[in-house]
Amino acid sequence: MRLPRTDPGRLLLVLVLAAAVTAFTATVPLLRDWFDLRVYHGTVDSWVHHGGHIYDYLVPGTTYGFTYPPFAAVAMLPMALLNLPAAVAVALLLNLAALGVVLRVLAGRDLRRYGWFGGALAVCALALFEPLRDTFSFGQVNLVLLALVLTDAWLLATGRERRAGIGIGLAAAVKLTPAVFIGLLLLAGRRRAAGVATAVAVGATALAAWVAPDASRYYWTTALWDTTRVGRLDYVSNQSLQGVLARLGEPERALWALAVLLVLGVWAWRTSRAVAAGEWIAAFALTGLVACLISPITWVHHLVWLLPAFAVLARAGRPRVAGALYAVMCTSVVWLWFDDSSGVDGFLGSNLYVWITLGLLLWLPVGQPPSARRLPGRSVTATAAAPSIAAAATSQAAPQLGPPSADADADAAAAGAAVGEALSTDTAPGAGLGVTRSASSEPTGSTRPAAAKPQSRSSRASS
């Protein structure tokens, strides 16, 4: 398949893809009732207006409450001025702005080259990607954190190292997982940026301790170590190494720790190669992959951190592979094993996103020759060579399972292929399984234990 070169042909393709995406999202309901946003808003409202404690609030009728570090609640204080509908509108605008930053860093040159056509293809593809669908639908913060971290990647890639580190520091103060990017800076020998990131994270945490001393004391001494607040490790939405072991019924922490050490070793080796080649986006992509793997809980919506890896893969001349893998992650296929993940099929299928993440960590192209790399901004200085980057896209999905849909399969594959081709001079046909699921407004993100129904981010609270 070659993309049309005339505007009428491009318009026709966009209309066909838009219809296919609409049909797909109609079978996988988008709206999840902004559950996580209701957790955030309810927590702040209770804290500010009713004298409640941050970690005591539960969404009425549920056992789900706030589980992020105290600075996250401090950063969300402006929500106390808004009612819930207004908070939903602001959250949507913030996520859209963050998505714009992510696309600018990962695919700025490609989208400019294709103009409105490239933007329309990206939107169609983004609307299918399950982690992004969940991030939007539940009112999650993942996309904002990704934009903060990638801003630092762009600064490093364009030789603006003196300004780097603030985004990573803020992201690490809101959620703990992005702190792994400080490790990347240290591994890359960017001590100043690592120092800035650490100082920002510590400063933000200290600010929260000053604003909410009791909540800070409780979080760092009790809530952080209470795994029951986060959710069931064996829940199918947990697409981390720990989730794989839990679904196997393996409770041994030693085995998980060994797996984490092996994965970190691979990450250090491959990331060092990327940094040596000046491929900062690839280095950040590898770090996002390892963060998802080593975190005790990586709900499906956390996998927005895979977007940079798809971008690197497409830019490195592998659009077919990028399109196929991306399409699989549009299908919500892991939910087919919601009730039973036993047997070989359960082991392979219920952990499919983990296998994709591992595969990208092992085989993501790094160390490409300079002629094969391009930077979506200005030219690189001697301090940092141009990184290899590219694009991929998405927006929000639901959980309850139904039979696979052939139409959804074709839709996801078409969009995956189109976005791959838009980011490369080659074609990128994708393929995937469609899953039809009924709507649900159950929690699935930054909350607590598991619910009785499948949900793309359920019973869990990101830490």
Question: At 413, is the pLDDT very low, low, confident or very high (cuts 50, 70, 90)?
Answer: very low
Beta strands in 166-313 (DSSP E): none
DSSP state of 364: -
Phi, psi of 187 (to 5 degrees): -60, -35
Residue 101, pLDDT score: 94
Per-residue pLDDT tens digits for 54-102: 999 988 888 888 989 999 999 999 999 999 999 999 999 999 999 999 9
DSSP state of 240: S
Residue 1, pLDDT score: 62
Is 239 within 8 Å of 457 (Cβ atoms)? no
CA proximity to 375, closest of 175, 128, 107, 7? 107
114 or 221, higher pLDDT = 221
Cα(271)–Cα(180) distance, integer angstroms: 13
Is 299 within 8 Å of 239 (Cβ atoms)? yes
Mean pLDDT on 178-207 = 96
Per-residue pLDDT tens digits for 268-309: 999 999 999 999 999 999 999 999 999 999 999 999 999 999
CA proximity to 39, closest of 146, 172, 140? 140
Cα(424)–Cα(389) distance, integer angstroms: 11
Q: Which of 193-207, 298-312, 340-354, 387-401 has the lowest mean pLDDT?
A: 387-401
Helix 253-276 to helix 280-294 angle, to the nearest 10 degrees?
180
pLDDT beyond 80 at 446: no
Per-residue pLDDT tens digits for 22-31: 787 777 655 5
Show the 3-state SS of 135-164.
Answer: HHHCCCCHHHHHHHHHHHHHHHHCCCHHHC
Give whole-number Cα distances, 360 to 31, 254, 265, 289, 332, in Å.
30, 25, 15, 8, 19
Residue 430, pLDDT score: 33
Residue 408, pLDDT score: 40
Mean confidence (pLDDT) of the chain: 80
Cα(178)–Cα(290) distance, integer angstroms: 11
From the number of C-beta atoms within 10 Å of its C-beta (0-12, 13-18, 19+), residue 203 rates as middle
Query: Number of H helices and number of E strands within the chain?
Result: 18, 0
Phi, psi of 395 (to 5 degrees): -170, -60
* Tokens at 244, concatenated: 């794989």
| pLDDT cut 70: percent of the chain above it | 77
Q: Which of 231-240, 280-289, 370-379, 398-407 has the lowest mean pLDDT?
A: 398-407
pLDDT beyond 90 at 197: yes
> SS3 for 181?
helix
Give whole-number Cα distances, 335 to 103, 344, 348, 398, 461, in Å.
28, 16, 12, 10, 19
Mean pLDDT on 392-404 = 36
DSSP string covering 36-99: HHHHHHHHHHHHHHS---TTT-B-TTSS-B--S-HHHHHHTGGGGGS-HHHHHHHHHHHHHHHH
